[in-house]
Amino acid sequence: MRDSLHRSRAALLAALLLVAACRPQPAAAPSPVGVPSAIVEPRDATRVAQAAADAAFPSGWRFPVGVKATESEHAMVVSNSHFASEAGVEILKAGGNAIDAAVATGFALAVTYPNAGNIGGGGFMNIRMADGRAMTLDYREMAPAASSRDMYVDANGKLTDKSTFGYLASGVPGSVAGMSEALKKYGSMTLAQVMAPAIRLAEQGFMVDSQFSRSIASGRHDITPFEGKAVFFPGGEAVKSGTRLVQPDLARTLKLIAENGPKAFYEGPIADSLVAEEKRGGGIITKEDLRHYKPEWRTPIRSTYRGYTLLAMPPSSSGGITMTETMNILENFAPLPPAGSVKYAHLLAESFRRAFMDRNSKLGDPAFVKVPLDRLTSKSYAKTLAAQIDLNHASKSPAFDTKAERTQTTHYSVVDAMGNAVATTTTLNGSFGSGVWVRGGGFFMNNEMDDFAAQPGTPNMYGLVQGEQNAIKPGKRMLSAMDPTIVLDPQGKLLMVAGAAGGPTIITATMEVILNVIEHHMTLADAMRAPRLHHQSLPDTLRYEANGLSAATLDSLRAMGHAVAPNRGGLANVNSILRVPGGWHGVNEPRSAGGAVGY
Ligand code: DON
């Protein structure tokens, strides 16, 4: 797809001159950009020196370069909650492996990060064992049996907000089944052992900090119409910083799961509470739906980028295919222009645009639609797409209005002392999901139904326009963008574990952090702090973080035909780990709450 607009030669010349002139500005303070020697190959020595110089952030950018990562010798857990990362490390120190620790972290997040951590949602886990075995677990929610294609469209053909808010917005939750299944297959401990920290955090409480309090306050609109109000808004106010938050209902629920396994959730007393709550509010999830829920083991998408191997999430997530397709396109232009340059931004935008066009139209739950996985992830297809990119002009996609975003997901990365690795992303979709809080159960329900194309061709809450492949059908999994990823170095050794929250920006941000390390030779701390860009084909806008691109760079991109717009707030929420010669670097998202804990 090419831009059909005619441009004057003068505008083109100006753009080209700016392309050359608009390299990232060095930060005012001395800013040595470290080179992670674990990944430096001898053939790259000259480029490494160049990349280190080029990777300085633009002046005015919110983060400095050269900040230290959390360092550890043996193992690392990085998540959006310090308490949850500590829970994972507690299990590792007690002799657990990365899978034990990941499950401990996941359950702890349901307690200490309730806007996204969950037992009422779903997710994806990407596992690589130290012996080289690699597998992924899909525990995405499923559409209830009573769902239907047009259930969110009113009599006038207008899309309602019922896919995002309230009782009808939830898919059948997969988290408890998924985490239990992963533990059973690849863990070494019992549910009771790995859930002990989460139960303790729910039963004895944890100290609320200002970030937690603010995030609860921002959820007032969604939480207070339902029963979670009493827990999170005692006396009408959001739980205050410095107070202890105890969640007795959730503690009881977690204990039931720890003692009786996932059956307690899908068939036992928790299922009873969940279905009773649904009935009270006009929801459609039944005990049958819960009983039929099953997580699916799937083969990871394995791709290469300049000798590195990426293990990523296959459908029902679009994460792996979209990232692979983009990386394959970019490989045709490698070595890539410096991070922060106009050329780099243009190439990223054009590659993302093409991969997202395929994502939005061709992907869906593989149990229901035929996904052209081999073609979309092939090098030859990427070569065709790369050949369509005009290095001087932006392509065009039709425009439309997007809806406001108000979202939360959470990603956590784990490595253990044996070299096993787990990347997990889990979500309720929106912050606090549908808002519905299961009475007696003590947890929020997801609003994942909005990830379906509730009305094919109409944008969802992320502005994603998707097609029939992702239309609602009973028992179908809604297409996700979650992208928990594991990267191996050219020798096949574990190098990185990464993933993100942020709807479609999950894919672009995860990939940009990986590229910052393997292509731009940044330290992990700098790779995480570097400004991010996002393009998802529709809306046809290159989004950037405020002050992440210089005014001159933005002018150049506009001259090339890109619509550019600052993102409201940061782009995505990444939690990642990198192997370094002395052990591990862990970095939780500097744009958000979290903790990297190792030993
Ligand atoms: O599965 C998906 O793609 C979305 N439900 C993810 C939502 C998300 O990342 C919101 N985050 N901040």
pLDDT of 121-144, one tens digit each?
A: 999 999 999 999 999 999 999 999
Ligand 1 site, residue 193, Cβ cutoff 6 A: no
Instruction: Give the atom of ligand 1 at the shortest distance from the alpha carbon of 448.
Output: 5
**Cβ 287 vs Cβ 275: under 8 Å:** yes
Which residue puts its alpha carbon closest to atom 8 of ligand 1? 503
**Confidence class for position 599, pLDDT limits 50, 70, 90:** very high
Ligand 1 site, residue 425, Cβ cutoff 6 A: no
| Mean pLDDT, residues 514-536 taken together | 97
Edge-to-edge strand list for the sheet holding 576-580:
70-72, 583-587, 576-580, 494-498, 485-488, 308-312, 301-305
500 C-alpha vs ligand 1 centroid, how far in Å? 9
Ligand 1 site, residue 502, Cβ cutoff 6 A: yes
Read off the pTM: 0.91
Question: What is the residue whose two structure tokens read 């958000």?
Answer: 592
Edge-to-edge strand list for the sheet holding 296-298:
296-298, 134-139, 122-128, 421-430, 407-415, 76-79, 595-598
Range of weakest confidence among 28-32, 371-375, 492-496: 28-32
* pLDDT-above-90 percentage for the chain: 83
**Cβ 58 vs Cβ 340: under 8 Å:** yes
31 C-alpha vs ligand 1 centroid, how far in Å? 34
Cross-strand pairs, 407: 430
Helix H or strand E segment including 86: helix 82-93
Whether residue 52 is predicted with pLDDT greater than 70 in this model: the reply is no
116 C-alpha vs ligand 1 centroid, how far in Å? 9
Ligand 1 site, residue 257, Cβ cutoff 6 A: no
Looking at every residue in the chain, the average pLDDT score rounds to 90
To test the pocket of ligand 1, the residue of 218, 359, 407 to mutate (highest count of ligand atoms within 8 Å of its CB) is 407
Span between the terminal Cα atoms of the chain, in Å = 50
Between residues 538 and 263, the one the model is more confident about = 263
388 C-alpha vs ligand 1 centroid, how far in Å? 30
**Confidence class for position 78, pLDDT limits 50, 70, 90:** very high
Whether residue 467 is predicted with pLDDT greater than 60 in this model: the reply is yes
Question: What is the residue whose two structure tokens read 């970030």?
Answer: 211
Tokens at 174, concatenated: 């997969």
Which candidate, 500, 320, 497, places its Cα nearest to that of 416? 497
Within a 10 A sphere around the Cβ of 197, how many other Cβ atoms? 24
DSSP assignment letter at 445: P
Which residue puts its alpha carbon closest to atom 10 of ligand 1? 408
32 C-alpha vs ligand 1 centroid, how far in Å? 35
* Model pLDDT, residue 401: 34
| Mean pLDDT, residues 286-308 taken together | 98
* Model pLDDT, residue 466: 76
Which candidate, 504, 71, 509, places its Cα nearest to that of 317? 504
Phi and psi at residue 437, to the nearest 5°: -120, 125
| Mean pLDDT, residues 167-174 taken together | 98
Whether residue 568 is predicted with pLDDT greater than 90 in this model: the reply is no
Count Cα atoms within 13 angstroms, Cβ side, for 222.
31
To test the pocket of ligand 1, the residue of 356, 403, 427 to mutate (highest count of ligand atoms within 8 Å of its CB) is 427
13 C-alpha vs ligand 1 centroid, how far in Å? 41
Ligand 1 site, residue 480, Cβ cutoff 6 A: yes
Cα 470 → chain centroid: 19
* Model pLDDT, residue 406: 44
462 C-alpha vs ligand 1 centroid, how far in Å? 9
* Model pLDDT, residue 19: 33
**Cβ 253 vs Cβ 119: under 8 Å:** yes
Cα 240 → chain centroid: 28
Is 46 a known active-site residue? no
* Model pLDDT, residue 433: 97
Ligand 1 site, residue 466, Cβ cutoff 6 A: no
Whether residue 88 is predicted with pLDDT greater than 80 in this model: the reply is yes
Ligand 1 site, residue 429, Cβ cutoff 6 A: yes
| Mean pLDDT, residues 424-436 taken together | 97
DSSP 20-55: HH-PPPPPSS-------GGG--GGGHHHHHHHHHHT
The maximal CA–CA distance of the chain, rounded, in angstroms, is: 72
Return the HEC string of 374-409. Answer: HHHCCHHHHHHHHHCCCCCCCCCCCCCCCCCCCEEE
Instruction: Give the atom of ligand 1 at the shortest distance from the alpha carbon of 506.
Output: 9
To test the pocket of ligand 1, the residue of 360, 470, 506 to mutate (highest count of ligand atoms within 8 Å of its CB) is 506
Ligand 1 site, residue 501, Cβ cutoff 6 A: yes
Ligand 1 site, residue 337, Cβ cutoff 6 A: no
Between residues 432 and 27, the one the model is more confident about = 432
CA distance 104 to 380: 42
Instruction: Give the atom of ligand 1 at the shortest distance from the alpha carbon of 478.
Output: 1
204 C-alpha vs ligand 1 centroid, how far in Å? 30
Whether residue 190 is predicted with pLDDT greater than 80 in this model: the reply is yes
Check 105, 409, 410, 427 and give the catalytic one. Answer: 409
Tokens at 375, concatenated: 């073609």
| Mean pLDDT, residues 143-169 taken together | 94
Whether residue 34 is predicted with pLDDT greater than 70 in this model: the reply is no
Ligand 1 site, residue 479, Cβ cutoff 6 A: no
Instruction: Give the atom of ligand 1 at the shortest distance from the alpha carbon of 573.
Output: 12
Whether residue 44 is predicted with pLDDT greater than 70 in this model: the reply is no
CA distance 87 to 364: 35
Which amino acid, residue 466?
A: Q
**Cβ 439 vs Cβ 227: under 8 Å:** yes
To test the pocket of ligand 1, the residue of 141, 363, 409 to mutate (highest count of ligand atoms within 8 Å of its CB) is 409
Residue 186 Cα distances to 125, 156, 304, 349, 377, angstroms: 12, 50, 26, 39, 28
CA distance 269 to 253: 9
Ligand 1 site, residue 481, Cβ cutoff 6 A: yes
Which residue puts its alpha carbon closest to atom 2 of ligand 1? 480
* Model pLDDT, residue 195: 99
Ligand 1 site, residue 451, Cβ cutoff 6 A: yes
Ligand 1 site, residue 336, Cβ cutoff 6 A: no
Ligand 1 site, residue 588, Cβ cutoff 6 A: no
| Mean pLDDT, residues 500-507 taken together | 96
Whether residue 43 is predicted with pLDDT greater than 50 in this model: the reply is no
17 C-alpha vs ligand 1 centroid, how far in Å? 39
CA distance 260 to 12: 67
For 542-561, how does the pLDDT look when each residue is reduced to its tens digit (9 = 90+)?
999 999 999 999 999 999 99
Whether residue 461 is predicted with pLDDT greater than 70 in this model: the reply is yes
**Confidence class for position 407, pLDDT limits 50, 70, 90:** low
Range of weakest confidence among 89-98, 344-353, 396-405, 421-430: 396-405
Which candidate, 288, 311, 286, 285, places its Cα nearest to that of 300? 311
Helix H or strand E segment including 138: strand 134-139
Which residue puts its alpha carbon closest to atom 5 of ligand 1? 429
Q: Helices 191-204 & 82-93, crossing angle to 10 degrees?
A: 140
CA distance 78 to 76: 7
CA distance 322 to 329: 11
State the burial class of residue 21 (Cβ atoms within 10 Å of its Cβ: 0-12, 13-18, 19+): exposed
Which residue puts its alpha carbon closest to atom 6 of ligand 1? 503
Whether residue 564 is predicted with pLDDT greater than 80 in this model: the reply is yes
Which amino acid, residue 516?
A: N
138 C-alpha vs ligand 1 centroid, how far in Å? 15
560 C-alpha vs ligand 1 centroid, how far in Å? 31
* pLDDT-above-70 percentage for the chain: 89
Question: What is the residue whose two structure tokens read 């330290």?
Answer: 523
Question: What is the residue whose two structure tokens read 């702090």?
Answer: 529
Three-class SS state of 187: coil
Ligand 1 site, residue 506, Cβ cutoff 6 A: yes
Within a 10 A sphere around the Cβ of 114, how many other Cβ atoms? 31
**Confidence class for position 95, pLDDT limits 50, 70, 90:** very high
Range of weakest confidence among 52-56, 81-85, 411-415, 458-462: 52-56
Which candidate, 271, 90, 351, places its Cα nearest to that of 195? 90
Whether residue 389 is predicted with pLDDT greater than 80 in this model: the reply is yes
- In 282-421, alpha helices (H): 287-292, 319-331, 342-362, 373-376, 379-387
Residues near 31 by beta carbon (within 8 Å), at least 6 away in sequence: 56, 57, 64, 65, 66
Tokens at 467, concatenated: 């097609």
Ligand 1 site, residue 427, Cβ cutoff 6 A: yes
